[in-house]
């Protein structure tokens, strides 16, 4: 773990830590003097202030991790709901006509998961949608801004058509609608996370406080630690600055950073498990994701 590089925030922090190391060397060389003025700091106030700062950083990380974990739970719920809907569709019969209808239903469900991923990451979805939708469906979805919602409408239309053809009764239709409502809740929950960041002023205040503390730290340690000051300062600064960087990274869990959710892999898992349920393999292109794999 000491030498792990991928997934660590250390690469992006190295320039800042190097600058702090050089500053600490200069402070030690001049014995804590700025021109002819001796900065009268000692470790006591810095210790007290560091403790308070650690509490604020802990709160910031908890708030960010709550958003990360909520996003993971929503995508776990998406897997469960798509499985439930596929199971419900499979109970309508085993004839060839129903198999084709169920395949169409599952293709739309799979397309919805990819459409949601692309909406959350603000990336083009046409390539993935083209693998699972026919021409008419693709034209309707590709023209929409909120593609998962349009796909949910197509799924609801599929259920309504099954009711009109008497392939399901009103009770079965209601059960389908319950799971479609859960899909709507999942999509809305993801949109809420992506559209409601942690207040910017709070992040700016914490960022400034962390760096001011780190720049003052060498003045408080130089008289006691001497030439060990740069190394101790960099180590302490790494813990504070890294906590802040991690919080910034996981605050938006649907991105492509190393510690974000691996949405591409999750979409592949959903596509694979739905294909296995219906016994009709759906082509899945294995694409490496940037996020973590749960």
Dump the DSSP string for 200-214: HHHHHHHHHHHHHHH
Judge whether 58 lies within some domain.
no
* Residue 5 belongs to some domain of the structure: no
293 pLDDT more than 50: no
Residue 18 lies in a domain: no
Q: Is 279 helix (H, G, I), strand (E, B) or coil?
A: coil
Length of the chain: 294
Would the pLDDT of 104 be above 50?
yes
For the CA atoms of 290, 108, 128, 197, what is the dihedral angle to 10 degrees? Answer: -40
185 belongs to a structural domain? yes
d(CA 73, CA 182): 13
Residue found by looking up tokens 């919805």 in the block: 112
pLDDT at 32: 78
Q: Domain of residue 120: give its range.
A: 64-197+256-278
- Paired strand residues for 261: 292
Q: Among the listed ranges 136-140, 142-146, 201-205, 217-221, which one has the minimum average pLDDT value?
A: 201-205
166 dihedral zone (left: phi>0; alpha: psi -120 to 50; beta): left
Q: What is the pLDDT of residues 112-132, one digit of tens each?
A: 999 999 999 999 999 999 999
Q: Which residue would you say has higher pLDDT here, 249 or 107?
A: 107
Nearest alpha carbon to residue 13 among 276, 240, 170:
240
Is there a domain that residue 112 lies in?
yes
> 144 in a domain, yes or no?
yes
The structure tokens listed for 157 are 């239309």
**Is residue 87 in a domain?**
yes
> How does residue 94 score in pLDDT terms, banded at 50, 70 and 90?
low
Residue 292: the pLDDT is: 45
Contact by Cβ (8 Å): 86, 98 = no
Q: Which of 131, 130, 151, 132 is nearest to 140 (CA)?
A: 151
User: If you average pLDDT over residues 187-205, what whole number do you get?
Assistant: 89
User: Domain for residue 265, yes or no?
Assistant: yes
Split into its structural domains, the chain has a count of 1
Q: Are 263 and 122 within 8 A, CB to CB?
A: no
230 neighbors 24 (Cβ within 8 angstroms): yes
Contact 85, 176 (CB under 8 A): yes
3-state secondary structure of 14: helix
The pLDDT > 90 percentage for the chain reads: 50
For helices 96-121 and 170-195, angle between their N-to-C axes, nearest 10 degrees:
20
pTM of the model: 0.85
Q: Hey, is 110 helix, strand or coil?
A: helix
Lowest mean pLDDT among 35-44, 115-124, 210-219, 279-288: 279-288
The model's confidence at residue 40, banded by pLDDT at 50, 70 and 90, is confident
Tokens of residue 187, six digits = 């999509």
């Amino acid at each position: 773990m000491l030498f792990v590089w991928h997934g660590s925030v250390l690469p992006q922090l190295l320039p800042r830590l190097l600058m702090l190391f050089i500053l600490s060397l200069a402070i030690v060389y001049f014995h804590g003097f700025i021109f002819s003025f001796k900065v009268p700091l000692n470790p006591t106030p810095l210790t007290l202030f560091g403790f308070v700062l650690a509490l604020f950083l802990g709160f910031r990380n908890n708030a960010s991790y709550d958003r990360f974990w909520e996003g993971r739970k929503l995508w776990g719920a998406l897997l469960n709901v798509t499985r439930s809907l596929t199971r419900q569709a499979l109970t309508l019969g085993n004839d060839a006509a129903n198999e084709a209808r169920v395949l169409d239903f599952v293709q739309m469900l799979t397309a919805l998961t990819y459409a949601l991923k692309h909406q959350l990451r603000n990336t083009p979805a046409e390539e993935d949608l083209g693998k699972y939708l026919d021409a008419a469906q693709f034209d309707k979805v590709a023209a929409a801004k909120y593609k998962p919602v349009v796909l949910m409408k197509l799924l609801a239309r599929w259920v309504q058509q099954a009711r009109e053809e008497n392939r399901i009764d009103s009770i079965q239709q209601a059960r389908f609608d319950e799971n479609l409502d859960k899909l709507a809740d999942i999509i809305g929950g993801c949109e809420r996370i992506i559209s409601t960041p942690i207040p910017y002023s709070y992040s700016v205040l914490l960022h400034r406080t962390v760096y001011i503390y780190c720049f003052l730290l060498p003045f408080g340690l130089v008289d006691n630690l001497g030439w060990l000051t740069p190394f101790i300062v960099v180590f302490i600064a790494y813990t504070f600055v890294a906590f802040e960087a991690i919080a910034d990274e996981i605050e938006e869990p649907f991105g492509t950073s190393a510690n974000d959710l691996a949405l591409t892999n999750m979409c592949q898992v959903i596509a694979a498990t739905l294909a296995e349920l219906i016994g009709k393999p759906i082509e899945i292109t294995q694409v490496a994701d940037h996020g973590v794999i749960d």
